[in-house]
Structure 1
C-alpha cells in the first residue's frame, strides 16, 4: 500500500518554521531501556516505562520511531522548501529507519559524543528560536508538550545527540573511500554513450577587489572602547554578557551572549583568536587584539580539560568617507586601464587587487563546491549570476559595491575569462566532475553494503501500515 504525502497531518505553523530551521530530524528519538516494565497506555507520550503501543511505528536496535515522527520529518522538509511531489511516505519512513540504524550502530561502536558541543548547540537553538518567536518560551513549551524548559532541553539534547551519532557513523562508513584514476576511467567507460550526463554552460570568472583602508585613528578608537569595557567589568562589576548584547558585531554568537566552546584538539576560530583564548586563566579578560574580522576582547569562563568556554566582544573599526572614496577612485582607474587595453586583467589583479585569495591567480575565482575554476551557469549563486549574466567573454563589468563577513564595503570588477557551452560529459574536459560522480557511486555502494550487513545483525521491527511498504533495504526481515 502506498502512503502518499498528500495525506500529511497539519502542523502548528506558528512555531514549525522557526523550530525546524534549527532542528535536524525532529523525531522523538527516545532510547529504550534494557529493562522495560509492563507496557501501558498513557496519552501519546513515550518514555522509558510507558508507551502507547499503537503509536510506535518501528523499532531499530535501541531506538523507537513514533507515528508522529514521520509527520515532523515531512514538516521539516516542507519548511525547508523541499519538493515532495511523487515521494511516498514509505520512502521518507525508510529515511528515518536509516538514521536510527546509524545512531544505533554508532553506540555499538562506541563513537564518542562531544557533550559540550551538543549542549552548546542546544543553547544556540533555543536562543535562535526565541529570537524568531519574540522570546515566547511558554508557546515553545506548549508546542512541544513540555512542562518545563529543563524537559525541553533534555529532549533537544537527545535529538541533537542522536543526529550527531548518525552523522559520525555515516562519515565513518564513507570517509576513507577514495577512487583511483583507473576507477574513474572504468566508471566513465561503463556509462553507455547515450546515457552520459550533460553538463550545463560553464564560465571561468576573474575579479579585482579594492578594499577601503582602515585608518590607525579608527583602529585606536575601537581599542580604547574595548579597553573601557574591560575596565568597567573588572573594576565596577559590569556584566560581560550585557555588553555583548549591546555592542558586539558578531551576529552568530550574539544570541548566546558571545559564547563559543573551543577545543585544543579541534581547531575552531582563527589562529589569533585561539592563541589568545588558550593563554588566559579562568575569569580573565584579554587585552584587545586584532583578527581579520576586527578587534576582540575575550573572557575565559571555564576550562574543562581540552574544552575552553569563552565569551567575546567583536567591534569593527569605522571607515572614513575619504577612505571609501579613495578605494572607489582606484578601482575606477583600474577599470579604465583595462577597457583601454593598457594592461591585462591578470596583470591588473596581481598589481592592484586587495583580495589575497585570488590576486596571485590573476583574479581567477575558485568554485567552492568543485574546487576548480569552472562555474556552472545554472548552479551559480544568484547574486554572482546577476553580476555576470550579460557579460561577453573578455568584457569588463561595471563597478560593484559589495560586502562580506570581514569587510563592510569593497569594490570589485569582474570578467569572463572562458566559456564552455552545454556539452555531453567529456573525460578529459570534465575529469574532476566525473571523478566526483565515481566517488559518489562508490560511496553509495559502500553504504548499501554496510546497511545490508548491519540490518541483518540488528533487531528491526516495523509495525502497522508500514509493513506494506516496499523498501529498498531489507527492513522487513523479521516480519
Structure 2
C-alpha cells in the first residue's frame, strides 16, 4: 500500500516554485527556514533540486490530499514522501534542460477538470476549497495548480524519454530467464483463451446523414456566423470525457493518440481551420485546429453518435441467435462464424479470439483479467458457448455477443517456451528499471541539490546527499 501511494503522488497538490541562482547561493550559506524567491518569502525550504524548491508544506499538503482522497497513509513515512518529491523535481528540472515542451492549453484544461471534479465529488464550494488549501483567491489557487501540473507533466515526459526506446532481444530474454534460480521462478496463474462473436445493430443511412448535416451546420455557424466552437462542444458533443476541456486534445506526430481517421484529418489542417465531417469507429466528428507547436497539435472536436432504431436492435439479436444455433448444430465452427458474421474488427480476422493487450497473445491469466470480461466468462466450461449477452460498445450503443472459453492451462511455474512473451515483459521491465536507476545516479551527481534540516537524516534509496 505504501508503494502504491507513493507512486500516485505526482497527481497530488503541493506548493512549489522555480528558483533563480540567487536562491541557490543563499541555500549554500544558510539552512534557516526563511528563504527568498524573487520578492516572495517562503517558510520552510526543505530542499532545492536544480531550478525547483521543495517546501516543508509540500509534504504536509500531500498528506492532507491523500487523506482527503480517503487513502490510508499507514506505513508511509515523511521521508518516503519527500524522496518521491525529490525524484519528481529531478525529472522536471532535466526535462527543461532537454527542452521538452508540454502543452500549456492541455495543462490549463486539466486544471479546469481537476477543480470541477473536486467540487462535484466533494460537494464543497470554491471558498471551502480555497480554505482547505489556504489560498486567498481562485486565481492564485489555479496558478499554483498550473505550476504543479506542468512540473508533473514535465517529469512524466522525462521518464518516458528515458525508457521509450529501450527494447530487449530474444537473447537478453533468455539470459534473464536463466539467471533466475529454478526455485525462485515466477508462478503464472490459470490461463485460458477467450473468443467471441459480436453483432451490432446498424444505423440507418437517413440517421447518419442527419448527423453529418448537423455537423456541417456547426461548421458554418463557427466559420461564417462567429459562433463559439467550444460552446457547441459543451452543448452537443457526445464525447463526454472531453466536454470539461472544451473538446480539447493535444496530438503529437511522433506519439500516436486517437484513432487513425482522427489523426489523419487533424494533421491535414492549418491553424484556425475546421474539418468537414468524417467518420470513425466512435461516430462522426468535426475538428478545429487551434494551435500548432512543432510536432504537437492542439485540437478541439465535436463527436455525434448516430442513434440506433429499436427495429435494428431486434434484428441484430435475432441474427446472433441464428448464428449461435448454427454453431451448436455443427453447421459451422465458432472460428468460421466469427470471420463471417462478427462485427468486431479486432477479433473478426482472428477467428473471434481476443488478444491480451498486455502480452499480445491469446492467453489471459484469470487473476489479471479485466473484471468485466471475467464476469462474462466465469461460469463457462471448456468449449461451452455462452447464451447471448447484451453489452455496450465504446459509444454507449447496445451490442450482442456470444463467448467461448478454450485451452485452459492450470497455474504453473514459468516455462520459457510457453511463457516467452510474459518473460520478455519481465526482462524489459528490469532493463527499464536499470536505465532509470542509472539515469538518476548520474543526474543526481550532475545537478545542484541542497537538502535542509531534519530531512538530511532520512535514509534515501538514492544518493541525494551525495555522500
CA change 1:42–1:122 in 2 (3 A) is: farther
Output aligned runs, 1:196-211, within 5 Å: 196-211=185-200
Q: CA RMSD in A?
A: 3.5
Distance 2:224 2:435 in 1: 60
Which has the larger displacement, 391-400 or 90-99?
90-99
What is the SS of the residue equivalent to 1:375? strand
Distance 2:135 2:371 in 1: 41
Q: Aligned residue for 1:398?
A: 387
CA change 1:135–1:408 in 2 (3 A) is: farther
Q: Aligned residue for 1:61?
A: 50
- Deviation string 1:203-259 (CA, Å, 9 cap, x unpaired) is 111111101111101112222333444455566554443332222111122112223
Instruction: Confirm or deny that 1:26 pairs with 2:21.
Output: no
CA contact (8 A) 1:42 1:50 kept: no
Which has the larger displacement, 455-464 or 186-195?
455-464
Q: Aligned residue for 1:153?
A: 142
Which has the larger displacement, 318-327 or 272-281?
272-281
What is the SS of the residue equivalent to 2:241? coil
The one of 378, 389, 397 aligned to 1:408: 397
CA change 1:48–1:337 in 2 (3 A) is: farther
TM-aligned CA deviation for residue 358 of structure 1: 0.5
What is the SS of the residue equivalent to 1:362? coil
Output aligned runs, 1:248-327, within 5 Å: 248-262=237-251, 267-277=256-266, 285-301=274-290, 308-327=297-316
Q: TM-score, normalised by structure 1?
A: 0.84
CA contact (8 A) 1:38 1:49 kept: no
Instruction: Confirm or deny that 1:221 pairs with 2:213.
Output: no
Q: Aligned residue for 1:330?
A: 319
The one of 145, 149, 174 aligned to 1:185: 174
Distance 1:117 1:242 in 2: 18
CA change 1:78–1:398 in 2 (3 A) is: farther
Which has the larger displacement, 450-459 or 357-366?
450-459
What is the SS of the residue equivalent to 2:18? coil
TM-aligned CA deviation for residue 405 of structure 1: 1.7
CA change 1:100–1:219 in 2 (3 A) is: same
Which has the larger displacement, 407-416 or 113-122?
113-122
What is the aligned length?
A: 461
Output aligned runs, 1:339-358, within 5 Å: 339-358=328-347
CA contact (8 A) 1:22 1:125 kept: no
Q: Aligned residue for 2:430?
A: 441
Q: Aligned residue for 1:14?
A: none
Output aligned runs, 1:86-235, within 5 Å: 86-129=75-118, 132=121, 136-233=125-222
CA change 1:389–1:83 in 2 (3 A) is: farther
Q: TM-score, normalised by structure 2?
A: 0.86
CA contact (8 A) 2:211 2:304 kept: yes
Output aligned runs, 1:347-386, within 5 Å: 347-386=336-375
CA contact (8 A) 2:110 2:245 kept: no
What is the SS of the residue equivalent to 1:111? coil
Distance 2:237 2:120 in 1: 16
Distance 2:154 2:226 in 1: 41
What is the SS of the residue equivalent to 1:208? strand
Which has the larger displacement, 335-344 or 424-433?
335-344
Which consecutive residues of structure 1, in runs of 5 or more, have no partner in the other structure? 9-19
Distance 1:57 1:192 in 2: 43
CA contact (8 A) 2:33 2:45 kept: no
- Deviation string 1:171-213 (CA, Å, 9 cap, x unpaired) is 3333333222222222222222211111111111111110111
What is the SS of the residue equivalent to 1:361? coil
TM-aligned CA deviation for residue 103 of structure 1: 1.9
Distance 2:444 2:220 in 1: 61
TM-aligned CA deviation for residue 142 of structure 1: 3.5
TM-aligned CA deviation for residue 44 of structure 1: 9.7
What is the SS of the residue equivalent to 1:342? coil
CA change 1:420–1:89 in 2 (3 A) is: farther
CA contact (8 A) 2:20 2:37 kept: no
Distance 1:172 1:306 in 2: 15
